[in-house]
Amino acid sequence: MLKELSSYIYDIALNCIDLGASRLDIEIDEEPANDLLTVIISNDVNLQTAYKPAHKPSSVIPIFRQVCDLCGGRLTTKYSEAGSRFTASMQYYNADRPPMGSIPGLIQELIMSKPRIDISYTHRYDGNEYRLSTSDINSMLDGVPLDTPSVAHWIKENIGEGLTQIIQKKVLE
């Protein structure tokens, strides 16, 4: 089993992109007060029909399903012509729940390695929300590529600061 949730998210996201997704949405909803953690990964490709002969399908989905089951939750998948959606839920305080891992690093790596993919990331912590999207970043950059090192550094820093703010905001309420 992988050691961090970010590793599962990354593997599923890359699998979606490898099968032709041009849009990827990642949502993480932490609800410690309700003992619930939810991760949603959705895209614009029906992964059931997007098979490519040279593509090795993700082997992490069955393992992630086991992790969710072990942590009092479940992993569901929905496929349609509009796209695919993976929803993982688990108990927030379950002793077997893997740590989150580096979400800023994960999103930065996805954007850097796949700068042409429209990536949207939303993170909620007990109702407080942080959002980042490559379409918004591109509109601010006026033609500067997303995979420029200074942009990559800014993305990671911005996410880290945003996550700190939504968590501190809840603590200060």
pTM: 0.91
What pLDDT, on a 0 to 100 scale, did the predictor assign at position 154?
Answer: 94
Distance from C-alpha of 69 to C-alpha of 140, rounded to nearest angstrom: 42
For residue 86, what are the CA distances in angstroms to 15, 104, 122, 145, 162?
Answer: 12, 20, 15, 29, 24
What pLDDT, on a 0 to 100 scale, did the predictor assign at position 137?
Answer: 93
Q: What is the pLDDT along the chain (173 residues), one digit of tens a residue?
A: 568 999 999 999 998 898 889 999 999 999 999 999 999 999 998 877 766 655 666 678 899 999 999 999 999 999 888 999 999 999 999 999 999 999 999 999 999 999 899 999 999 999 999 999 999 999 998 889 999 999 999 999 999 999 999 998 766 65
CATH number of 5-172: 3.30.565
Both tokens of residue 22? 């041009």
What pLDDT, on a 0 to 100 scale, did the predictor assign at position 49?
Answer: 72
Q: What sections of 3-130 are H helices per DSSP?
A: 5-18, 60-70, 103-113
What pLDDT, on a 0 to 100 scale, did the predictor assign at position 169?
Answer: 74
What pLDDT, on a 0 to 100 scale, did the predictor assign at position 50?
Answer: 63
